[in-house]
């Protein structure tokens, strides 16, 4: 995707697989895509995601359903010395219904030296924790990062954190990984319903602590980090923390967050967004239509044209994730796959209202990082949401802090690497000290601290700025394969 979603439409015309054959057969491309995706699964046929019979909708959210203590890493591509666990647990969807979901926990070799406490020993250490919210992986059960060989985002985030001695708990999000309850009821992924995925994140922390109480104590410090779709989830989590706090929370980092995307699509329709981001947003409209349908079944893909719906069904038939989505929609203009009246449909507007992130109070500190050359998300649009949020903080006499930093000359994914020196230190400071421990002028009246700044890169004119996560995917031969 170009983003948060990776719609590859802009990249695909240049791919030989497409251009050399004229108009490709979408079903054949779907098959090719999904075979390659399957080759990137740690276990092509994992029974881990089968929900135990004792699952019930009456369980409390955050209840543990299954634990895989030590995942066999021989089929993964995870740096040696790290280890992995997977858990299944209960969460709540946007409507508050209990659903089963999966998550992974990536363990460091040992806790970071700055964290090692007198109470923990080498045989039973406790770890600082980051709850990681991934970006768009797709809409189907097959698109679970916990079953991708390199966990999706690999060295960008989870490996980077674990190699610094920080444990990472990462929900797949409900509907990804676990696909049905024991009675066969399908669990759809409520794409772009960020408060629902924030529930998945919160409940993954609670369940991981229940599974590993000595390694992850129930009040131990944790920070939240998310990118793109997951940046919106992370910010939604910061809002959720006010209403339904999870102990130990120390702050949130949101990279290029997908917030208020329906509003962004409206802006794009009115010409208020650049042409590249507009094209991406039209691709994203298909995914949001699926997300709204997951919450409101009667919506039934309003928002997608008949030709878009036909291609969507080709994708759904093979349960294709982001790389395959790019292939299936090749040869179509994104704008031809989506309807004009989507953004004034009453269900769309209700969904947008219920899932609104930004322009609301939250529990901070919150660090928002944006990419100047983001193909998915125009930084000016994001900045206006940051401003709206700061006004709300000030009007409410909030003392929370919101820091916004714009990284010059970088794209949607390279932003994460470009800013690692900043965000890694930020996370460590939060996990090692008190929440929001930055020095304050004690004589000044308490007020919200909103700051905005630009970060200049060195030689950004010659650096490689690929719009996809093109890093550590095995055996990738073509650009479309980099979408996971």
Ligand X SMILES: *[C@@H]1O[C@H](CO)[C@@H](O)[C@H](O)[C@H]1NC(C)=O
Q: Contact residues for ligand X (CB under 6 A)?
A: 45, 47, 52, 54, 59, 63, 65, 72, 74, 95, 295-297, 300, 340-341, 344, 396-397
> Whole-number minimum distance, CB 350 to ligand X, in Å?
8
**What's the closest the beta carbon of residue 337 comes to ligand X, in angstroms?**
14
Q: Is 50:183 a contact under the CB 8 Å cutoff? A: no
Of 351 and 423, CB closest to ligand X? 351
Q: Are strands 64-68 and 449-455 parallel, antiparallel or unpaired?
A: unpaired
How near is the Cβ of 331 to ligand X at its closest, in Å? 22
Length reported for the chain? 484
Helix (H) or strand (E) holding 262: helix 261-269
Closer to ligand X by CB, 42 or 161: give it.
42
**Are the beta carbons of 6 and 378 closer than 8 angstroms?**
no
Nearer of residues 45 and 80 to ligand X, judged by Cβ: 45
| Minimum distance from residue 91 beta carbon to ligand X (Å) | 13
- Beta carbon of residue 444, minimum distance to ligand X (angstroms, whole number): 14
Q: Chain-centre distance of CA 458, in angstroms?
A: 28
Closer of 59 and 478 to ligand X (Cβ): 59
> Least CB distance from residue 75 to ligand X, whole Å?
6
Q: How far is the CB of 29 from ligand X (least distance, A)?
A: 22
- Whether 365 and 436 have beta carbons less than 8 Å apart is answered as yes
Measured CA to CA, the distance from residue 328 to residue 190 in angstroms comes to 21
Contact between 210 and 64 under an 8 Å Cβ cutoff? The reply is yes
CA distance 200 to 158: 17
Q: Are 342 and 285 in contact (CB under 8 A)?
A: yes
Cross-sheet strand order for the sheet of 449-455: 64-68, 83-92, 98-107, 167-171, 129-133, 222-227, 249-255, 366-371, 401-407, 449-455
Q: Which is nearer to ligand X, 74 or 124 (by Cβ)?
A: 74
User: For residues 186 and 454, which CB has a smaller minimum distance to ligand X in the complex?
Assistant: 186
Q: How far is the CB of 473 from ligand X (least distance, A)?
A: 21
Contact assessment for residue 402 and residue 449, using Cβ atoms and an 8 Å cutoff: yes
Helix ranges, 319-419 (H) = 322-328, 346-354, 379-395, 414-418
Dihedral Cα 353, 94, 4, 448, nearest 10 deg: 60
CB of 16 or CB of 54, closer to ligand X: 54
Q: Which is nearer to ligand X, 134 or 286 (CB)?
A: 286
Q: How far is the CB of 254 from ligand X (least distance, A)?
A: 25
d(C-alpha 172, C-alpha 355), whole Å: 19
Q: Alpha-carbon distance 250 to 108, whole Å?
A: 20
What pairing do the DSSP bridges indicate for beta strands 167-171 and 98-107? antiparallel
- Kindly provide the b/e burial profile for residues 138-167, where b requires at least 16 CB atoms within 10 angstroms of the residue's own CB: bbbbbbbbbbbbbbbbbbbbbbbbbbebbb
Pick between residue 16 and residue 47 the one whose CB is nearest to ligand X: 47
């Amino acid at each position: 995707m170009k983003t948060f979603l990776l719609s590859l439409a802009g990249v695909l015309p240049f791919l030989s697989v497409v251009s050399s054959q004229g108009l490709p057969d979408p079903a054949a491309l779907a098959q090719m895509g999904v075979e390659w995706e399957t080759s990137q699964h740690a276990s092509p046929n994992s029974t881990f995601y089968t929900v135990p019979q004792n699952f019930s909708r009456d369980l409390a959210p955050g209840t543990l359903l299954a634990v895989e203590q030590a995942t066999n890493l021989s089929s993964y591509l995870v740096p040696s010395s790290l280890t992995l666990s997977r858990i299944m647990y209960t969460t709540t969807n946007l409507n508050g219904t209990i659903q089963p979901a999966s998550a992974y926990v990536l363990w460091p070799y040992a806790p970071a030296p700055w964290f090692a406490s007198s109470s923990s020993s080498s045989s039973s250490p406790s770890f600082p924790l980051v709850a990681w919210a991934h970006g768009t992986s797709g809409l189907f059960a097959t698109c679970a990062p916990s079953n991708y060989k390199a966990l999706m985002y690999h060295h960008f985030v989870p490996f980077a954190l674990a190699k610094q001695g920080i444990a990472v708990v990462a929900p797949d999000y409900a509907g990804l990984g676990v696909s049905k309850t024991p009675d066969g009821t399908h669990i759809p992924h409520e794409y772009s319903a960020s408060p629902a995925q924030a529930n998945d994140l919160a409940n993954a922390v609670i369940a991981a602590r229940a599974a590993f109480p000595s390694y992850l104590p129930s009040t131990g410090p944790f920070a939240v980090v998310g990118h793109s779709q997951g940046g919106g989830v992370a910010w939604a989590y910061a809002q959720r923390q006010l209403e339904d706090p999870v102990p130990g929370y120390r702050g949130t980092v949101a990279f290029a967050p997908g917030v208020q995307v329906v509003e962004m699509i409206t802006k794009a329709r009115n010409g208020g967004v650049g042409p590249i981001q507009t094209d991406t947003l039209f691709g994203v409209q298909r995914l949001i239509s699926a997300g709204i349908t997951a919450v409101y079944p009667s919506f039934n893909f309003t928002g997608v044209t008949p030709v878009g719906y036909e291609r969507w069904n080709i994708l759904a038939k093979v349960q294709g994730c982001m790389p395959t989505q790019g292939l299936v929609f090749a040869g179509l203009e994104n704008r031809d796959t989506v309807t004009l009246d989507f953004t004034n449909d009453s269900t769309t507007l209700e969904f947008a209202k219920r899932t609104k992130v930004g322009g609301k109070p939250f529990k901070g500190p919150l660090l928002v990082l944006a990419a100047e050359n983001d193909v998915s998300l125009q930084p000016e649009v994001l900045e206006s949401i940051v401003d709206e949020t700061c006004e709300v903080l000030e009007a409410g006499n909030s003392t929370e802090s919101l820091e916004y930093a714009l990284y010059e000359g970088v794209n949607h994914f390279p932003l994460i690497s470009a800013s690692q020196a900043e965000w890694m230190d930020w996370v460590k400071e939060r996990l090692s000290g008190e929440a929001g421990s930055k020095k304050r002028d004690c004589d000044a009246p308490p007020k919200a601290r909103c700051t905005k700044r630009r970060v200049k890169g060195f030689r950004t004119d010659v650096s490689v700025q690929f719009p996809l996560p093109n890093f550590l995917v095995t055996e990738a031969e073509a650009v479309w394969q980099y979408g996971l």
